[in-house]
Amino acid sequence: MTPEERRAFGSRLAAERAARGLTQRVLAARVCAALPDAQRPDLATVEGYVKRWEAGRAGIGARYRRALADALGVEPGGLFGGRPGPPRRETDEERRRLLACLGLLGVDVGVAEEPLEPIRQALAEAIPGGPRDRLIADWEEVAFEYGHAFLTAPPGALLPDLAHDLVRVQRTIRVVDDAGTRRGLCGPAGKLAALVAMTAATLGHARQARDWWKTARHTADAFADRDLRVWVRGYESMSALYAGRPLALVLRLADEAIAIAGPSSGAAVLEAMAARAQALALLGRTGDATGTVHAMEERFGRLPRATADERLSTGAWPETALRHTAAFTYTCVRDAARAERAQADALRLYPGGMERQRAQIELLRATCLVQAGDVATGVAHASRAVGSLSPSQRTATVTRGARMVLDAVPETRRERSCVRELRELASPEACGRTEG
């Protein structure tokens, strides 16, 4: 690199880092994680590299180029080649592979490649102004509708449609030449990727969900919108909590979202705070958990009203979510009076169509009954809550609630017939899915 190239690259790197809300140390940690073990220096050394790169005082070697691009979630060509060029076009082999994947998910490939689509596209092109100005808004509308559908639709039925539209938006990003439009499309694409991650998690597919969350994070970072970046990380932390991933990881993801949000009073950060409160409650840190709930209540009071079906909007967070968080937190810390009030409030606010969410609250009620010593009543209540759902609606979040009830049963009473029946009712086999 010439001195001029080093300075230009340093300015570009600093801007990319700032757009993602990263400190130089956090970026260095990401670079370290992307390097092979045998080539990984300590964090302080890499942080020094980052500082020198941004100051334009040093060039960057080949082995760090890929690691730095991975750390920022961009292609190396775009980061090191000056202005990014148009995206690589889809090859015939890639097209066949994507269609095969859609076929495995149950999407009618004939419909996916329907003959009417070119006619529709031609009409859109003929409209004065062309379709480009409306592309981003159209895809935002698609993502918004999926956010609503996720709350009530069986996840197994939702996943094929989500995958189909993700293929479509990916193709759209590839064929658009304007870099600003491509970046703008990363907003709805990032939300759709997050919804795929959530859906995979509710189906018990933990490994696939982890990979999709990484992709959702990188896509949201490419969009460079603070609220979306916070939203994705907040819901990833909640998904990690319900998937039973390490609580330290849940807190790290939640804290990263909260740090990106900063002092903003927006709604996007509340899901991360909710995950933090629940993780702290599970860790037995009662004061910290209840303090987080109180902070959420104070922040929630400054937000405009939202309906229950706006839970997955980046700009809204409904009272049902707040009461659900309080119900979980107070149940875990065994504050029975507050838990029962929050459970009653949540059930009063949840509409009847949100069957899974209502069942989760009923399972928290059952947990409180068992904690109070009424094992038979609590377990029977839990069995009714799970049994009221069709197998397609007995998601991983529901079965995790059932496991909370079972974990609260004293060990000496876990072989009772009613306890065994609940265990079988909430098993992956009874729910028509596999864990993994």
Distances (CA, A) of 115 to 272, 291, 380: 44, 57, 54
Predicted local confidence at residue 211, as pLDDT = 92
* The pLDDT value given to residue 286: 96
In terms of average pLDDT, the best of 11-15, 44-48, 313-317, 335-339 is 335-339
User: What integer pLDDT is reported at residue 436 of this predicted model?
Assistant: 46
Residue 202, both tokens: 């509710």
Q: How far apart are CA 134 and CA 330, in angstroms?
A: 46
Angle at the Cα of 373 from the Cα atoms of 368 and 374, rounded to 5 degrees: 80
Mean pLDDT computed over 322-344: 97
CB of 235 closer than 8 Å to CB of 271: yes
* Residue 90 vs residue 290, higher pLDDT: 290
Q: What is the pLDDT, as a whole number, of residue 82?
A: 47
Task: Supply the pTM of this predicted model.
Answer: 0.74
pLDDT score recorded for residue 112: 53
Q: Are 151 and 309 in contact (CB under 8 A)?
A: yes
* Confidence check: pLDDT of 15 > 80: no
pLDDT score of 57: 85
Higher pLDDT, 3 or 306: 306
Share of the chain above pLDDT 70, in %: 84
Percent of the chain with pLDDT over 90: 52
Go through 242-253 and write b for each residue having 16 or more CB atoms within 10 A of its CB, e for each that does not.
Answer: bbebebeebbeb
321-326: which pairs have CB atoms within 8 A and are 24 or more residues apart? 321/270, 321/271, 321/274, 322/270, 322/274, 322/296, 322/297, 323/349, 324/357, 324/360, 324/361, 325/274, 325/277, 325/278, 325/293, 325/296, 326/293
More confident call, 330 vs 44: 330
Asked whether the predicted pLDDT for residue 77 surpasses 80, the reply is: no
Averaged pLDDT score across all residues of the chain: 86
Least confident of 112-116, 151-155, 192-196: 112-116
Q: CA-to-CA distance for 99 and 171, rounded, in angstroms?
A: 12
**Best CA proximity match to 232, nearest among 206, 207, 204, 261:** 261
Helix (H) or strand (E) holding 15: helix 3-19
- Residue 276 clears pLDDT 60, i.e. is over it: yes
User: What does the pLDDT read at residue 13?
Assistant: 83
With b for 16 or more beta-carbon neighbours within 10 A and e for fewer, the 214-224 pattern comes to: ebbbbbbbbbb
**Residue 18 confidence (pLDDT) above 80:** no
Across 94-108, average pLDDT: 68
Q: 379-434 pLDDT, tens per residue?
A: 999 999 999 999 889 998 999 999 999 999 999 998 889 999 999 888 876 665 54
Cα of first residue to Cα of last residue in the chain, in angstroms, is 47
Identify the pLDDT of residue 265: 67
Q: For the range 430-436, what are the long-range contacts, defined as Cβ-Cβ under 8 Å and sequence gap of 24 or more?
A: 430/391, 430/394, 431/391, 431/394, 431/395, 431/398, 431/399, 432/156, 432/391, 432/392, 432/394, 433/156, 433/203, 433/204, 433/396, 434/204, 435/204, 435/206, 435/396, 436/204, 436/205, 436/206, 436/207
Give 218-257 pLDDT, tens digit per residue. Answer: 999 888 788 999 999 999 999 999 998 999 999 999 999 9
Amino acid at 288: D
Q: What is the CA radius of gyration of the chain?
A: 24
By the 10 Å C-beta count (0-12 exposed, 13-18 middle, 19+ buried), 31 is classed as buried
